[in-house]
């Protein structure tokens, strides 16, 4: 059986007519960039993400770039972030002439380690102008500790929530727990609607969520070349606008997003029992991703979005050979990410240097993403686990 890493056709089939009607409507409206459809979608995303405002932009990358521009990050500045992320996290920093400072990640969550952030900020380097925690694979970084240390040292936070729309973090509130969504903690939350994200468009798109109305207004100006009023430029912005057709499509899909998150969590639970049954955990051949807030959630599937599993990423022995084996057997897997950001050539050739990041290097060497999209059948999940077990059996590591 062929199991793709991602297949969007199953998601599209039941909403095809609804989306076609929206595409036709936007086409006939002849309003193609920003406008009422984008405003409506911005309001809906902001409400969903527990944020005050939403600014629709052209991609997740441009969301990061625009947010950093709004904070005034520029040449000579530094931005503290995770090296274990998609390139855009660092690309947005470098494109502004700033340089990255990396904190290592936590072993369990793959997210930036708040204690390392504290250690770095304690040196009081005035060049550090922002912190970008990445909510990797669909699970929030430790936002309570990160926001506390950021406030203490007066450094603004830009959340890279590109993989984590809807993901909740458990905030301790007078002994009770309040689940608060990614993108509502920092000065800005950056989202991507790249087709492979949990909320994916039919093209590129992104959103910045913001708590402060004045900052949202600034980002709105930067999104349109910095013109305010139009054709009068006190600041340099860019063309970071979102298309109406994407906003209309995404607004339809947003209504289904909670169900899709549940579908991914359901598949994650099935994986857990299948891997267990196959003896792969016990033998230490595979480590499954840890949902670090799971214990605080009421229901593992239908409850709060403690994890939205944009990716289901395992650690595996003989990772590279396993990947090749699975791909040969038509099972779609991928390595996110084989080269951490602090080892990228474009950074190293600037003469950049930084301390060792052992957990980041380890993750890059050991991890493998498995298919997790909601429409996978149980047979497909069984096929993935059986394929992994077969690899270890053939190599004499499993009986």
Ligand X SMILES: *Cc1c(COP(=O)(O)O)cnc(C)c1O
Report the distance separating Cα 256 and Cα 368, nearest Å: 28
Shortest distance in whole angstroms from residue 26 CB to ligand X: 20
**CB nearer ligand X, residue 89 or residue 211:** 89
- For residue 4, the surrounding DSSP H or E stretch is none
For residue 23, the Cα-to-chain-centroid distance in whole angstroms is: 27
Contact 81, 133 (CB under 8 A): yes
Instruction: Select from 49, 162, 274, 385 the one that contacts ligand X (CB under 6 A).
Output: 162
**CB nearer ligand X, residue 60 or residue 387:** 60
For residue 248, the Cα-to-chain-centroid distance in whole angstroms is: 22
CA distances from 290 to 19, 100, 110, 120 (A): 35, 27, 9, 26
> Is 206 an interacting residue with respect to ligand X (CB under 6 A)?
yes
Where does this chain touch ligand X (CB under 6 A) — which range of 160-168, 242-250, 316-324, 374-382? 160-168
> Is 139 an interacting residue with respect to ligand X (CB under 6 A)?
no
Report the distance separating Cα 7 and Cα 332, nearest Å: 10
**CB nearer ligand X, residue 101 or residue 242:** 242
Where does this chain touch ligand X (CB under 6 A) — which range of 46-54, 155-163, 175-183, 208-216? 155-163
Contact 34, 242 (CB under 8 A): yes
> Is 160 an interacting residue with respect to ligand X (CB under 6 A)?
yes
Q: How is the beta sheet containing 53-57 ordered, strand by strand?
A: 53-57, 206-210, 188-192, 158-160
- Map the footprint of ligand X across residues 54-83, applying CB under 6 A: 59-61
Instruction: Select from 11, 81, 83, 85 the one that contacts ligand X (CB under 6 A).
Output: 85
Where does this chain touch ligand X (CB under 6 A) — which range of 84-92, 149-157, 175-183, 361-369? 84-92
CA nearest neighbour of 111 among 309, 360, 338: 360
Instruction: Select from 110, 194, 275, 293 the one that contacts ligand X (CB under 6 A).
Output: 194
Comparing every residue's Cβ against ligand X, the nearest one is 60
CA angle at 116 for the pair 78 and 130, rounded to the nearest 5°:
30
**CB nearer ligand X, residue 88 or residue 291:** 88
**CB nearer ligand X, residue 164 or residue 322:** 164
**CB nearer ligand X, residue 159 or residue 218:** 159
Q: Is the dihedral of CA 46, 47, 51, 53 positive or negative?
A: positive
Q: Which residues bind ligand X (CB under 6 A)?
A: 59-61, 85-86, 88-89, 134, 160, 162-163, 192, 194, 204, 206
């Amino acid at each position: 059986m062929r199991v793709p890493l991602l297949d969007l056709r199953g998601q599209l089939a039941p909403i095809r007519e609804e989306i076609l009607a929206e595409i036709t409507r936007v086409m006939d409206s002849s309003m193609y960039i920003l406008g009422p459809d984008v405003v409506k979608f911005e309001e809906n995303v902001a409400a969903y993400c527990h944020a005050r405002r939403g600014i629709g932009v052209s991609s997740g990358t441009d969301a990061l770039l625009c947010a950093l521009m709004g904070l005034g990050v520029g040449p000579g500045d530094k931005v503290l972030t995770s090296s274990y992320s998609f390139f855009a996290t660092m690309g947005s920093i470098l494109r502004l002439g700033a340089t990255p400072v990396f904190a290592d990640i936590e072993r369990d969550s793959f997210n930036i380690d708040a204690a390392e952030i504290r250690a770095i900020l304690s040196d009081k380097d005035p060049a550090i102008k922002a912190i970008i925690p990445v909510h990797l694979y669909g699970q929030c970084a430790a936002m309570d500790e990160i926001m506390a240390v950021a406030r203490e040292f007066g450094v603004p936070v830009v959340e890279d929530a590109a993989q984590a729309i809807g993901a909740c973090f458990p905030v301790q509130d007078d002994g009770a727990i309040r689940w608060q969504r990614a993108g509502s903690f920092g000065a800005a939350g950056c989202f991507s609607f790249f087709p492979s994200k949990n909320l994916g468009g039919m093209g590129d798109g992104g959103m910045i969520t913001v708590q402060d109305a004045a900052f949202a207004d600034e980002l709105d100006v930067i999104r349109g070349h910095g013109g305010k009023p139009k054709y009068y430029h006190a600041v340099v912005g860019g063309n970071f606008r979102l298309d109406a057709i994407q906003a209309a499509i995404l607004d339809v899909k947003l209504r289904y997003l909670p169900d899709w998150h549940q579908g991914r969590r359901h598949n994650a639970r099935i994986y857990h029992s299948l891997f267990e049954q196959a003896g792969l955990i016990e033998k230490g051949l595979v480590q499954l991703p840890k949902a670090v807030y799971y214990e605080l959630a009421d229901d593992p599937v239908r409850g709060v979005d403690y994890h939205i599993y944009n990716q289901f990423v395992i650690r595996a022995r003989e990772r590279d050979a396993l990947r090749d084996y699975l791909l040969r057997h038509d099972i779609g897997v991928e390595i996110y990410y084989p080269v951490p950001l602090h080892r990228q050539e474009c950074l190293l050739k600037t003469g950049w240097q930084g301390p060792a990041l052992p957990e980041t290097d380890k993750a890059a060497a050991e991890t493998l993403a498995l298919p997790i999209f909601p429409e996978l059948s149980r047979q497909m999940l069984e096929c993935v686990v059986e394929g992994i077990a077969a690899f270890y059996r053939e190599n004499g590591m499993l009986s």
